[in-house]
Amino acid sequence: MDNSFWNGTQGRLPRIHWHYKVWSHAAELTAGYNNTRNSDAYLPIPKMLAKDGVVFNFTCTEMKDREQAGHANCSSEGLVHQVKMATTTAGAELAGKNALKRYASDAYAQVLSTSRSDCHSGLTAFTYLRMTKRLFEVDNWRHLVEFVISMSEGGRRQRLPHSDFLGVMGKSKELRRSTHKRLLLCECIY
């Protein structure tokens, strides 16, 4: 089949990071993923997607292990790392998205960390989900603007200069338009 048929298509997979730190990976096994010490349940998926150029879209890129309940033995970071390595091995592209409503800079920093990579296993795209009224509160908006600009610059910028922030928040219509365009670009590219 001609690969152009799949152009722009994304394959999605649910995240199952509960009990990820337990050797049996019981939650994944219950869902049908044989992800044990001797079996990588995530590698066959990007191999299949890579054959037709389909992007593997994975979630929970903003989550950190330390934010999860200890008794659940969660490891969203471990799962994202495993998926990144599987897509790299398979030669597939990896896109990401957030799973939760998060507005703080530490969640954005986690996405930036996931998106960067020296071995070409970073994110090729990112979709921001869960936009609510809270996102447009001054501090939350500032964090989002910093994040979008950093993503558009390949994750290099960690902090938006105060003067840029003031312009974005109301002193300059042109800066607001520019930021809006970057947000739209971020939706399409990152």
This prediction's pTM: 0.72
Residues 31-46 have pLDDT tens digits of 888 888 888 988 999 9
Alpha carbons 17 and 28: distance in angstroms, whole number: 8
Alpha carbons 46 and 87: distance in angstroms, whole number: 5
Looking at the predicted structure, is the pLDDT value of residue 93 above 70? yes
**DSSP string covering 85-96, please?**
HHHHHHT--EEE
Quick check: 10 and 55 in contact, CB under 8 A?
A: yes
Alpha carbons 155 and 147: distance in angstroms, whole number: 8
Looking at the predicted structure, is the pLDDT value of residue 13 above 70? no
60-89 mean pLDDT? 88
Question: Residue 36: its pLDDT value, please?
Answer: 82
Alpha carbons 164 and 145: distance in angstroms, whole number: 10
Residues 159-190 have pLDDT tens digits of 544 444 444 444 344 444 554 444 544 444 43
Question: Residue 11: its pLDDT value, please?
Answer: 55
